[in-house]
Amino acid sequence: MRNFKTTSRVSDVYRKDFPISDTLKNPMSASPVLDGEWLQIDANGAAVRYTAGVPYVVGGTNIGTVISFPVWAESGRYDVQVSSKVPLLYLNAFEAETKIFAAAGLYVGAPLEMSDMAYPAGGAILRRGLALQSIVTNFVVGYVVKIFTDRIRFIRTCS
């Protein structure tokens, strides 16, 4: 399995292409964007990754209050490289499996929020994935449906 795969129909999910930087789209760079990595949309309408010290929202730095969207493209896809745009699963609910998650405290039915983590584990690149909701005021982006040893299945509930 890749890092991310939908297990429900995606015909009802609105996919949208967003501009992406050359560094993220290049599969040969030190930190290419991965399928299933969750990106946020910046003030210029571009899909961006976590940046240390940059506020997630005006006046705050709490990642749990920023809506992010999963990348719907394998690393190195030619159309992403040529167009400099990356497709994100933008609106509506869906069910999927992901390898980009923090396992600590998860259980079936657990509410999930955005979190930044080193992925692959032990790596130096921070990527946004799913984790157990840590603060009740943070957005719940989905719920755990099944836990595997290397991935989770979840239902995304918010846009």
Tokens at 33, concatenated:
């964007």
Tokens at 67, concatenated:
């809506």
Per-residue pLDDT of the chain (159 residues; tens, 9 = 90+): 588 998 988 778 888 899 988 777 777 887 888 889 998 888 788 888 866 555 454 444 566 667 789 998 766 666 777 778 888 998 889 999 999 999 999 999 999 988 888 888 777 888 889 999 988 878 889 999 999 999 999 999 864
Domain boundaries, the chain: 4-156
Predicted TM-score (pTM) of this structure: 0.85
Sign (positive/negative) of CA torsion 59, 47, 154, 102? negative
Cβ atoms of 63 and 115 within 8 Å: the answer is yes
Tokens at 108, concatenated:
């079936």
Which residue do the tokens 């599969």 mark? 27
Write out the DSSP string of 18-80: EE--HHHH-TTSSS---TT-EEEE-TTS-EE---TT--SBTTB--GGGS--EEB-S-TT-HHH
